[in-house]
Amino acid sequence: MSMSNPNASIPVTVITGFLGAGKTTLLNRILTEKHGRRIAVIENEFGEVGVDHQLVIQSDEEIFELNNGCICCRVRGDLIRILAKLQQRRVKFDHVLIETTGMADPGPVAQTFFTDEEVKESFVLDGIVTVVDAKHVGLHWDDMREVREQIGFADVILLNKTDLVPPAELEKLEARIRKMNPMAKLHRTENATIDLDKVLHIGGFDLKRALELEPDFLEAAEHEHDHDDDEHEHGDHHEHEADHHHDEDVTSVGINTPGDLDEKKFSDWLGTLLRTKGQDIFRMKGVLSVKGRDMRFVFQGVHMLMEGRPDRPWGQEARHNTLIFIGRNLDRKALNEGFKACLA
């Protein structure tokens, strides 16, 4: 199954973040930099991009459910309409930036690029960039589900306004973000100052780059794993003492296991998992070692939408399975056990 069209030419970057985090600053920075790219910006109805000579269009966040009303079939009708008009040009845009409102759920935005046939013809989702206000995020993220979702969905996280926060506080913020999403590349920024190649053309949904993750991502996930084991012995006490906040609902589960998978068992397990827990899985990626196959199998997904294919031969590399799930209320133990039961 293929979610995206490899020939689609125009990359799309989604910029999310809570109100005041610095989304518009980042947008304006991208637009004013002398990069020679022709960029179209789709900003939310409250946006205020102030750059001439770039195409800017405002949209209202029109979410609709494609068929049976399941969360995974929710897409953004406004984006579909606007993108259809943008692709009419013979000289296409080099890049499209979508700025969401602070309260936006990135799920329907992402799903639009994997389910709408016309959108898939011309556009490919390059990545989700989430701007986090280091100074104020602490006020929001326990109460605002959206803040945690936006972090969970991200390929790149800019921890912005670091100049307003003492280093020790930054370390804690970063640790908490890492727990929620160890897959994203995290950059500390002031005034959203960042090299464009760290936010554009990052291939966040590109299978070829499925596991070009931060080198320490599994370490972070594994660490989380150990920490979790710890909790089984000591209950919640340890976490509260360390971080003074509630248990995270958005979190990640990393699995790193040698051995070969039984193809049928794994396929059944993943199918059931997505059908029953897909609403809670924001992102997933992985490289799998399948019994009887010489090639690595790579996959990635958003909610219930999943794509995967053989990648390259294992060759001399030790065969192993590396995967990560990011989502809400993930059952770490069940995921680990379920996966291990698929080993041949």
Partner 1 sequence: MASQLRPIAFRWHGKLDDFITSVAWSPDGERLAAGSVSGQVAIYDVNGGRAVHLFEQAHADGCDAVAWRPDGKALATAGRDGMWKLWDAADGKVLAEHEAGALWAEHLAWSARPIGDRGHLLALGAGNKVTLWTEAGAAAGAAMTFPRTVVDVAWILGGATLAAAYSTGVSRRDPLTGAEERAFPARDPVLSMAFSPSGKWLMTGNQDCTIHVWNTDSGSEMHMRGYAAKVRQLAWHRGSRWLASGGGPAVSVWDCSGRGPEGRMPTILEWHTDQVSALHYQPDGDWLASGSRDGGVAVWLPTQRQTLVTGAKISSGVTRVAWSPSGKLLAATGEAGEVQVLEVE
Binding residues (CB under 8 A) for partner 1: these are: 55-60, 62, 64, 66-67, 77-78, 80-81, 85, 88-91, 117-118
Shorter beta-carbon distance to partner 1: residue 71 or 80: 80
Dist. CA 199–CA 210, nearest whole Å: 17
Q: Residues with Cβ < 8 Å from 51, sequence gap 6 or more? A: 28, 31, 32
Shorter beta-carbon distance to partner 1: residue 64 or 247: 64
DSSP state of 165: S
**Contact between residue 168 and residue 199 where contact means Cβ atoms under 8 Å apart:** no
Shortest Cβ 150–partner 1 spacing (Å): 24
Shorter beta-carbon distance to partner 1: residue 103 or 170: 103
Shortest Cβ 62–partner 1 spacing (Å): 5
Dist. CA 265–CA 290, nearest whole Å: 11
The burial class, CB within 10 Å (0-12 / 13-18 / 19+), for 148 is: buried
**Contact between residue 75 and residue 111 where contact means Cβ atoms under 8 Å apart:** yes
Shorter beta-carbon distance to partner 1: residue 89 or 208: 89
Shortest Cβ 118–partner 1 spacing (Å): 7
Shorter beta-carbon distance to partner 1: residue 59 or 181: 59
Sign of the CA dihedral running 108, 22, 25, 36: negative
Shortest Cβ 105–partner 1 spacing (Å): 17
Shortest Cβ 205–partner 1 spacing (Å): 22
DSSP state of 247: P
Shortest Cβ 82–partner 1 spacing (Å): 8
Shorter beta-carbon distance to partner 1: residue 20 or 77: 77
What is the SS3 assignment for 119?
helix
